[in-house]
Every structure is written in structure tokens, then in C-alpha cells.
Amino acid sequence: MPLSDLVLFIDGEAIVIDKPAGLPVDTSRRGGASIVSRLDELRCGFRSSPTPMHRLDQDTSGCLLLARNAKARAQLQRAFEQRQVGKYYLAVVGSPIEEETGTVAVPLAKRSSADAGWRMVGDPAGQEAMTNWRRVAVRDGRTLVEFQPLTGRTHQIRAHAREAFGSGIVGDRVYGIPGGAMMLHASRLVVPRDKRELIDVTAPLPEQFGEWRGAA
């Protein structure tokens, strides 16, 4: 499917697409398809290709913002740096959660081992990391949770889900419950702009979420 068919929002400054799970944003060292390698599909009448303004993990689907020119890129970059951008994710956590809302404030640091490779772990000496969360629905011992990261650390939601709830995200072979697709979706993106209307875009849950789609 052309990336242009995945556009959720577009104007002269920005594009938001619904990135499919399995397609990385950046091209890996091994090569292969990626958002970056296919940016010409998102020119949408412009001479130059847009630029991704943030990253989603390869197995994470949902809202991805791209800037369409240099001026917009600088403005949107400032919004990210000043933590003005609202990012919301929906994920299925592999345990029932009794509380309705909460905040995970666990600093994260990168750790490597010969057996498991690298991952982000809770570490008091790590980088500040904060994530708000809200319980959406509980079913069959699992919970649909909305996460709102307030910082932008690598694998933050995946690591914080494990820190907060023990079991982590369903389908996450590194931090959660391996097996099947990773049930993590960038569901909503809210971006303030200086002279244009607020970008507020929602990406529907993909089919892999099954019955959870009716609960979101």
C-alpha cells in the first residue's frame, strides 16, 4: 500500500500518517523498506519529501508526524523540545489493573548483555522518564491502557509498562509477553502550532487488537 493512502492529516506544513506495524521509520543497517526509504510517496504535490519529526518502534503502529518544509520542521522541533506535543498510546497489558489512573516516574538507562542484547531498565541514575496512564478496559485478565509519555526516552512506554504492572505489553518480546503482534499503538497526536490550527489526529486501532477495538 502506498504511504499516501495512510495519510490522516495534511496541510502545507505537516503530514500525519498511520504507520503500519512492522515498517521501521529509519532504514536498518541490513537495508530493507522503511518510512525513510519511501518518503517520495509522501510528497503529495511538493517537490521535496517530508521529514519524520519523531520515531515509533518498528512493531508500533499509529500516528507519525512529518514536516513538509524547513520552516515547519524547525517549528515542530521546538514544540517537541518544549514538551508541548501530546502523544497518546493504547496498549494491552498482560495483567488486570485495579487502579483507574496513575503516573510512572522511573528513570531509565540502557543496559546490554551478551545473551539478551540491550534494553532500557529502571535506574535511579538514569534519564528522567515520566508516563501518565489511564485504564480503559479490563478483559480476561488483561487491560487496555492509554499511556501518555511526558518525556521521550527510548522504549519508554514498553519499559514503564513492565515497571508499573509487572507483566508488560502483550506481544512485546523484550519487555512484555512474547508471542504474536505487539499490542502497542500510537492512537492520538496533538501538536500546537504558531500560526495554524492545532493538529489533533486519532488513528483507529488496527485489526490485530480484535475485540479491544470496541473498547477504545
* Upper half-sphere CA count for residue 167 (Cβ side, 13 Å): 15
Length of the chain, in residues: 216
Backbone φ/ψ region at 49: left (φ over 0), alpha (ψ -120 to 50), beta: beta
Beta-ladder partners of 109: 121
Q: Cα separation of 64 and 50, whole Å?
A: 12
How far out from the chain centre does Cα 55 lie? 7
CA distance 193 to 97: 36
Spatial distance between the Cα atoms of 130 and 198, rounded to a whole number of angstroms: 24
3-state SS, residue 78: helix
Q: Are strands 142-149 and 86-93 parallel, antiparallel or unpaired?
A: antiparallel
Report which of 176, 180, 139 is spatially closest to residue 160, judged by C-alpha positions.
176
Give catalytic residue positions: 57
Which one, of 159, 152, 156, lies nearest residue 176 by Cα?
Answer: 159
Query: Of 89, 207, 74, whose CA–CA distance to 156 is shortest?
Result: 89
